[in-house]
Amino acid sequence: MNRDDIINDPTIGNKAEAYEAFDDIPTNPNLTRTIGDVINARYGRRDVLKGMLGVSATTTLFGASALIAPDATAADTPENSRYAFQELEAGNDETHHVAQGYDAHVLLRWGDPVLAGAPEFDVMNQTAAAQLMQFGYNNDYVGFLPLNEAGTRGLLCVNHEYTNEEVMFPGLGRQDSAGFKGMTPELIDIEMAAHGGSIVEIVKDPTGAWRVVQDGKLNRRIQPLNTAMVMSGPAAGHERLKTNDDPDGRNVIGTLNNCAGGMTPWGTWLMAEENFHGYYWTDVLDADGKPDLSGQADADSKKRYGVPGMWYAWGKYYDRFNIDREPNAPNKFGWVVEVDPLDPASLPIKRTALGRFRHEGAEATTSTEGRLVVYMGDDNRFDYQYKYVSDGVVSPDRAANSGLLDQGTLYVARFDEDGTVTWLPLVHGTGPLTRENGFASQADVLIDTRLAADALGATPMDRPEDAQPRGDGTAYIMLTNNNKRKDTNPANPRSASDFGHIIEIKEDGGDHAATRGTWSILVKCGDPTLADVGAHWNPETSQNGWFGSPDNCAIDAEGRLWVSTDQGSKWGKTGKSDGLYGVETEGALRGTSKLFFRCPVGGEMCGPYFTDDGETLFLAVQHPGTDGTKALKGFERKSTFEDPATRWPDFDPDMPPRPSVVVVTKQGGGKIAV
Ligand code: FEO
Ligand code: CA
């Protein structure tokens, strides 16, 4: 399926769904040995019959039919789950739901004033000037930086990934299928102002309720319309980063499609640039009306990254989003951006040492020696899992850490069938990463991270989304789906997976800096009662607890894994809205899952982020009322501004649905799920 097919697909209701479908198009030419093949080879049925796999591996891989009864004791029943809450009922309706005994308050909505002097939101009279001072659209990553010892005051750092014009603007409708004819320069500037991120001070009052400090001195909007940033690391200043606006190749305006992210141990915020390709434009089309890259510099590189995607019309008006006028401009995006929330005058820094790809997230931890380690997925079918390890160690002197994201080694993962994972260094001059193979320097290796990883023989994955390290040298990798996988080994009956799986990595020596570790599958997602789905959960998981399409994740203060989902337009296949689940990783209940929070229809569950005291959980409901609304009984049509499937969270007949951050606390106080 190509871009035009997606735009014209009658089953795709809006651009959010189209984006999801666009991710279906693999750009990796090396598809000879995918993670599916490796799983099949690693876990042959013979091994199971010989009892060579542990119980959890057997149940997760082969389901009840291959089940060896778990060693359950009374103390290990689900009632004794480490996730102490009564599970929600799964389903889908117009609003959100949280487990009994918890409050879920809407803290920040698209358009809420966040800078001093910001105007109140007026949805019928939107302007870029107002949006630049208001909370942006499609909140995804949420981080929290405490400003006091008690953690009752702090900065919320929120990514605004993208915009949905058909539910944002009155009378407009979906624009990519209409040649962007309705997209005026004014509307484009509003879209740009609604992207990026927000830093917002929040306080917890004595009643335990969190509220926004609108005149907080550190409040800030970061966006692609006019936020100045700098490039650093090995690719900064390289010829391929130079543009007419920036002859030095060291400066850039803005950040794009900021999906998930992370917080560093020294309290800076990492914003991951994901689907940057979608913002680039060309007027040079081939006979089929598709982008013609034959005259472009770096055509192979652009092709591998899917540039230009032409999902937004910004490049019609801005040279910096038009590859005909600025062929190097896309090389300035697809990076991880570091922001210091404590200094509102600081320039965000694009850290090129962490590679260029469709960065889903950037969750950081430290190695046993104290080096910084960042786990990062490249969210495309058949793309790769990466991690970055700094040369130096994290210092208690905050300023001393500024070089840790510039000097270090980027690795890509190879998962082998013997159960080992090997981290392959992306270092110029080693192995195939030489001038003869098109990599003249480390800058080339980083600008073309995907091509370099192809050359190293990394394992093509089923869309690596968020990856979450835990302090003990474990990391959880969310693989959201891959309906293009063709392998049909009977030991792995899902030749095309709509529902994804989760891989657990145990780094050698419990050290996140290790270049080798072991891997196993924690769960294979989807409905375990349908044989052809091929899902595998611990059978103690209830009908409410299983899920599809893991996306973001978090580890709480108790070391427990939480997983949020993004099924996109496929939620109708499960009948469940997206939500947040507690997924057990230990003991006899390993591989069970419990539903804690669910989204309103069409919304994707983002965040999650737990405060250090375990008493507050921040969640982000992205694009409510958009994905797959035709599957909602009683609505059964595509959402528009005038006729959305839900008007969550305001339920005001004059207000469309608004992406919002939700804060969850326990009624009466205390740690969540404890
Ligand atoms: Fe923006 Fe891969 O989710
Ligand atoms: Ca995501």
- Cα(463)–Cα(466) distance, integer angstroms: 10
Ligand 1 contact via 161 beta carbon (within 6 Å): yes
Distance 359 CA to ligand 1 centre (A): 8
Give residue 75's pLDDT band: very low, low, confident or very high (50, 70, 90): very low
Residue 359 CA: which ligand is closest? 1
Whole-number pLDDT of residue 6: 72
- Which ligand 1 atom lies nearest to the CA of residue 379? 2
Whole-number pLDDT of residue 505: 97
- Cα(344)–Cα(612) distance, integer angstroms: 24
pLDDT above 60: residue 12: yes
- Cα(524)–Cα(49) distance, integer angstroms: 20
Whole-number pLDDT of residue 31: 65
Mean pLDDT, rounded, for 594-623? 98
Ligand 1 contact via 627 beta carbon (within 6 Å): no
- Which ligand 1 atom lies nearest to the CA of residue 377? 2
pLDDT above 80: residue 39: no
For residue 197, CA distances in Å to 156, 343, 424 come to 10, 15, 32
State the greatest distance between any 2 C-alpha atoms of the chain, in Å, as a whole number.
69
Instruction: Encode pLDDT of 346-361 as tens digits.
Output: 999 999 999 999 999 9
What rounded mean pLDDT belongs to the chain?
91
Residue 620 CA: which ligand is closest? 2
Residue 466 CA: which ligand is closest? 2
Ligand 1 contact via 360 beta carbon (within 6 Å): yes
CA-angle at 311, arms to 305 and 316, nearest 5°: 105
pLDDT above 60: residue 552: yes
Mean pLDDT, rounded, for 603-620? 98
Whole-number pLDDT of residue 536: 93
Distance 379 CA to ligand 1 centre (A): 7
Give residue 67's pLDDT band: very low, low, confident or very high (50, 70, 90): very low
Whole-number pLDDT of residue 486: 64
Percentage of the chain surpassing pLDDT 90? Answer: 82
pLDDT above 50: residue 236: yes
Residue 380 CA: which ligand is closest? 1
Residue 550 CA: which ligand is closest? 2
Ligand 1 contact via 274 beta carbon (within 6 Å): yes
- Cα(79)–Cα(84) distance, integer angstroms: 8
- Which ligand 1 atom lies nearest to the CA of residue 552? 3
Whole-number pLDDT of residue 7: 73
Distance 19 CA to ligand 1 centre (A): 10
Mean pLDDT, rounded, for 396-416? 96
Whole-number pLDDT of residue 59: 38
Give residue 491's pLDDT band: very low, low, confident or very high (50, 70, 90): very low
pLDDT above 60: residue 405: yes
Ligand 1 contact via 259 beta carbon (within 6 Å): yes
Whole-number pLDDT of residue 661: 99
Does residue 646 or residue 569 have the better pLDDT?
646
Distance 140 CA to ligand 2 centre (A): 7
3-class DSSP assignment, residue 201:
strand
Whole-number pLDDT of residue 66: 31
- Cα(629)–Cα(664) distance, integer angstroms: 26
- Which ligand 1 atom lies nearest to the CA of residue 465? 2
Please provide the DSSP assignment of 447-484 as one string: HTHHHHHHHHTPPP-B-EEEEEEETTTEEEEEE--BTT
Distance 272 CA to ligand 1 centre (A): 10
Distance 565 CA to ligand 1 centre (A): 11
Task: Report the Cα 166 to chain-centroid distance in Å.
Answer: 23
The torsion angle over the Cα atoms of residues 7, 8, 10 and 15, rounded to 10 degrees, is 10
Going from N- to C-terminal start, the domains of the chain cover: 275-325
Closest Cα to atom 1 of ligand 1:
259
- Which ligand 1 atom lies nearest to the CA of residue 480? 2
Whole-number pLDDT of residue 109: 98
Ligand 1 contact via 379 beta carbon (within 6 Å): yes
Residue 605 CA: which ligand is closest? 2
Give residue 45's pLDDT band: very low, low, confident or very high (50, 70, 90): very low
Instruction: Encode pLDDT of 445-456 as tens digits.
Output: 999 999 999 999
User: What DSSP character marks residue 506?
Assistant: E
3-class DSSP assignment, residue 157:
strand
Distance 552 CA to ligand 2 centre (A): 6
* Those residues with Cβ within 8 angstroms of residue 595's Cβ, 6 or more apart along the chain or in another chain: 87, 88, 89, 90, 99, 544, 545, 547, 579, 580, 581
Mean pLDDT, rounded, for 543-565? 97
The torsion angle over the Cα atoms of residues 16, 140, 131 and 357, rounded to 10 degrees, is -70
pLDDT above 90: residue 50: no
Kindly report the pTM of this predicted structure: 0.93
Percentage of the chain surpassing pLDDT 70? Answer: 89
Distance 384 CA to ligand 2 centre (A): 15
- Phi, psi at 177, each rounded to 5°: -80, -5
Mean pLDDT, rounded, for 510-525? 96
Give residue 23's pLDDT band: very low, low, confident or very high (50, 70, 90): low
Please provide the DSSP assignment of 574-642 as one string: HT---EEEEE--SSTTTT-EEEEEEPPTT-EEEEEEE-TTSSEEEEEEESTTTTTGGGSTTT-S---SS
Residue 608 CA: which ligand is closest? 2
Instruction: Encode pLDDT of 93-118 as tens digits.
Output: 999 999 999 999 999 999 999 999 99
Whole-number pLDDT of residue 61: 41
- Which ligand 1 atom lies nearest to the CA of residue 259? 1
- Which ligand 1 atom lies nearest to the CA of residue 275? 1
Whole-number pLDDT of residue 34: 66
Distance 124 CA to ligand 2 centre (A): 30
Residue with tokens 């990783």: 585
Instruction: Encode pLDDT of 358-402 as tens digits.
Output: 999 999 999 999 999 999 999 998 899 999 999 999 999 999 999
Distance 466 CA to ligand 2 centre (A): 7
pLDDT above 80: residue 81: yes
Whole-number pLDDT of residue 248: 98
pLDDT above 90: residue 69: no
Does residue 78 or residue 505 have the better pLDDT?
505
pLDDT above 70: residue 520: yes
Whole-number pLDDT of residue 483: 80
Ligand 1 contact via 467 beta carbon (within 6 Å): no
Instruction: Encode pLDDT of 269-323 as tens digits.
Output: 999 999 999 999 999 999 988 999 999 999 999 999 999 999 999 999 999 999 9
Selection from 549, 529, 453, 483 nearest residue 36 by Cα: 483
- Which ligand 1 atom lies nearest to the CA of residue 360? 2
Give residue 33's pLDDT band: very low, low, confident or very high (50, 70, 90): low
pLDDT above 70: residue 20: no
Ligand 1 contact via 465 beta carbon (within 6 Å): yes
Whole-number pLDDT of residue 78: 74
Mean pLDDT, rounded, for 184-197? 98
Distance 198 CA to ligand 2 centre (A): 17
Distance 137 CA to ligand 1 centre (A): 15
Ligand 1 contact via 444 beta carbon (within 6 Å): no
Give residue 487's pLDDT band: very low, low, confident or very high (50, 70, 90): low
3-class DSSP assignment, residue 303:
helix
- Cα(70)–Cα(474) distance, integer angstroms: 23
- Which ligand 1 atom lies nearest to the CA of residue 161? 1
Give residue 492's pLDDT band: very low, low, confident or very high (50, 70, 90): very low
3-class DSSP assignment, residue 375:
strand
